[in-house]
Structure 1
Amino acid sequence: MILHTLLSYEFLRVVWWLLLGVLLVGFAVMDGFDLGTGMLLPFAGRNDLERRVIINSVGPVWEGNQVWLILGGGAIFAAWPQLYAVSFSGFYVAMFAILVALILRPVAFKFRSKREDAAWRGRWDAALFIGGFVPSLICGVAMGNVLQGVPFRFGTDMHIYYDGTFFGLLNPFALVCGLVSVAMLAMHGAAWLQLKTEGAVADRARSYGSIAALLTVALYAVAGFLLWKFVDGYRVTSSLPPDGPSNPLLKTVETHAGAWFTNYAAHPVLYVVPGLGLAGALLAFIGFRARAELMTLLASALGIAGIILSVGVSMFPFILPSSADPRASLTAFDSSSSHLTLFIMLAVTAIFIPIIVAYTGWIYHVLRGKVDRDAIREERGHAY
């Protein structure tokens, strides 16, 4: 009986909804400090040596951190094909901007120190800043648009049509969500720099991190208020069998003020999730002031996890609402891959995710400790 439940279509759909959240959190936490470090590079580093220290704090690990981005994209493609089709087509320009910014990072890492010229290095520093700021902002903007609903619909042949524009994504609520993302990842980057550097760089990281942590709390609270007061949520008004066919058009949906807070009202314990977002950022602020390096980084990661997961908790069972045709909204129970596909993917994930986590942990153990300024100054090893 228990085995039958664990292998049921309903259970696998919920598991993959949870795993999607885990992968998003994994990307934000693991690659987030890379992005935050890039945003802080022009401010925490005041001369060439300090900026090289900052770059070398993430240089050995940034490529491995992007595994979580690849895993997230692969999971969406395989487990939620309609979500993949809508998001990667409708947000095409936004996705392209993120990819260009992410491509700038490895190029800047490799080419910055090829010449001694200050102007040359300054241009690559600007590229690293863009590579951190643009993905942070656009990912937050995308999340804000998801909460408002995305203008897509299905034709009679289930062909997907996207009726929006890139600049339509840049609405006030989405931009506030973008600023939340920028602030929390800058906080996370500062926490990383506090852990991995020392001296003036670490002191500046603590100052900027403290500001970013307070901004994260304030902006997240503002976004929550705007969501409650001005953004209509979505709710299913017909039956939605959790083991039904993957056809979004078989249900009816309506928009309703405050609908995104229905889950919290039904299960008050869920308020713990956004509470963790606020508490994590506040604890990170305390950690910056107390110079508690590891605690600050863990608190920052906790805050990021709470903020991201609060969106999923608010929207469940919706994954991507449609503002053009609410009935076409994608949910966890009508837009997944087949039962067999989800089962095979779960079995593969159960094998490889622990391996990835163990390998990542080992790498960070090997690379523990502060970045050596003298080694960078003397060009020992393979410093950037």
Structure 2
Amino acid sequence: METILRNPYTLTLEEWRDVLAEWGEPAYRARQIWQWLYRHLARDADAMTNLPKALRRRLAETFDFDILTPVTQLQSTDGHTRKWLLRLPDGEHIEAVLMEYDTRNTACISVQVGCAYACAFCATGQMGLIRNLAAGEIVAQIVHIERVLRDAGERPTEGHALTNIVFMGMGEPLSNYRETLKAIRILNHREGMAFGARRMTLSTVGLVPAIRRLAEEPLQVNLAISLHAPRDDLRAALLPINAQYPIAELMEAVREYIRKTNRRVTFEYAMIDGINDDVALAHELGRLLKGMLAHVNLIPLNAVPGSPWQGSPRERVRAFADVLQASYNVPVTVRVRRGIDIAAGCGQLYAQVERRGRSIVPLDAYPTHAEAARAAARRHT
């Protein structure tokens, strides 16, 4: 019978101490192992040369220090974006992306296999939710990307070559709340990689109870809200979760989050040609966000194969941004499009390779902007 090895990245430092206490090892060995995992990125127990041979042997018999297997790796033609399809020990697959800029290296990682929220323009939403990732499977993606950077000659600064982590890959972070926050705490721990919480960003479709819960956490992690429309009829057409948590309720939770944390919130807005990019909508968004400690990230859509929707043209994105900034004093960034030629949008590579999964709501069941507006008008007559 094949032995199933444990994931070492799932354990906190305290949990490592418990394991080693059961083995009759002194507590300080946990800190040594922790540093081998997160500072030296050891690929196996034999590399941990300051540990006794007997302990290294037991670690090797118990843990798999290289739990993710790259199945596919793609690199964009501009050389700045790399994407991996990674196989998990149970045979499921997830995606991870590295985006390299002049002054920073950003990892975009997954928290679930698939996603339950069926956002109309998202490839992951067409799969449905297959399962949550454990904290160690989330952390292992960062270890994998950090190894890639160091193998390429990147020198760690402040303990790591990565500068930013965004939880914006496959899945909804706040739907896998416990494991996602455990992963953040492991990455943030000062004895390990010591990745600053302010350099990590959680993105959510707008799970109101989880946003309120996050506001109580003693973490300085950043929060991004996938908004994509300033009014309920259109947002419900794009994000079905809006039927459960409409914009007014979502904004109340965000304002509470800002009051309690004094942290700026980013609103993500995918710019979709002819759907949500009219300047009239920019005015509605400006009125919604005016005066808030907030920032808008405009993202020209990475189109999903099979979808009729495309990213907005550059001049329309610019006009939308100008309205927000000039008329409402709302800070705006237009995200640089990266990895279009390698299907870098979340779920796209998985769908190409796996050929499985579907949206909980089929794509053709979503109304267009005009259809959603007509439906809303009928409800109010």
User: What TM-score, normalized by structure 1, do the two folds share?
Assistant: 0.21
> Structure with the greater relative contact order (CA < 8 A, sep ≥ 6): 1 or 2?
1
Between Structure 1 and Structure 2, which shows a larger proportion of helix residues? 1
User: What TM-score, normalized by structure 2, do the two folds share?
Assistant: 0.21
Between Structure 1 and Structure 2, which shows a larger proportion of strand residues? 2
